Amino acid sequence: MKLAKPRVFVTRPIPGPGITMLKKKGYRVEIQPKEINISKTALIKAVKQYDAIITLLTNRIDKDVMNSATPQLKVISNYAVGYDNIDIETAKKKSIIIANTPCKEVSEAVAEHTFALILALSRRIVEADAFMRANKYHGWDANLMIGRSLNTLTLGVIGLGNIGKMVVHMAVKGMGMNVLYTDRKRDMTFEKEYGARFCTQEKLLKTANVISLHVPLCPSTRHLINKKTLRLMKHDALLINTARGPVVDETAILHALYAKKLGGYALDVLECEPHIDCNPNDRYEFKELKNVVMTPHIASASATARDAMSTIAAESIIAVFQGKTPIHKVV
């Protein structure tokens, strides 16, 4: 008897060649057509019916969803580098393979976006653009929109993974910045190549002029930047977050910005995403501050990165049904 081809469910339309790759293998691919986040009820239904699922980081595959999965479900391929949206421990218990999509292309895209935010904040690009659009420019002024030259500043990188390393490369080789970093382990070879200095997180926060976050979201990194750690930072320091929103306590950051105890904040991720404000009833708003630059979680949104992610997501599923281990297997 001829075995039926695997059924693959995609929680939301994704760009890139991945879907075509699966269809060429004869897999039966079904995609939720709506450009909205799929409901928990629909996810529970999906894990009961399909052999493989491609999820996005906005899909909460929690314990309830994972426990609803039948033995038919063999693999969840997460179209993201992070996988804090998935209950990994329950996946292990149910022998469901979890894969993600880290790759050089994504690291490069996020690093580029991080540096774009650093430049936008340090040279007041967004503020200047709004100034021009409001027809406030009436001629050259030596005191207008004075920013800071990056080659006079020290960059502090918290988390020296692939993205953190690329940010340091751009900072040192492109802008001549001094670099401090902190990570779970020291990288002497990297230090030698880039002149970066390993230090404690406390020293980094006290010393750096620009602080860029590149850590995964886990219990130890949740609210890594908080009321206490913000007090350690220079009052004119610039903070950049392209990691995960809950790595920072946004309420504490807002209070610091309004009190002028933080020089600026640039973010691509939000603590209460997609809501810009965790507490809409208070008087503090990122949108009201000129020294805040916001982008809508697009750090990895280059065509090259999206194609690579799509390819890897499909390859992981194909590998499982060929009896192989996905290259980017999480568990």
- Catalytic residue numbers, as ranges: 244, 273, 297
Residues 88 and 98 sit within 8 Å (Cβ to Cβ): yes
In sequence order, what are the beta bridge partners of 266? 240, 293
What is the distance between the alpha carbons of residues 94 and 64, in angstroms, rounded to a whole number?
Answer: 13
What is the distance between the alpha carbons of residues 256 and 193, in angstroms, rounded to a whole number?
Answer: 35
What is the distance between the alpha carbons of residues 292 and 245, in angstroms, rounded to a whole number?
Answer: 15
3-state secondary structure at position 251: helix
| 107 token code pair | 């690291």
Quick one: residue 215, left, alpha or beta (phi over 0 = left, psi -120 to 50 = alpha)? beta
Cα 95 to Cα 67, 75, 92, 197, 330: the distances in Å are 11, 9, 5, 42, 12
CA 284, 286, 287, 291 dihedral sign is positive
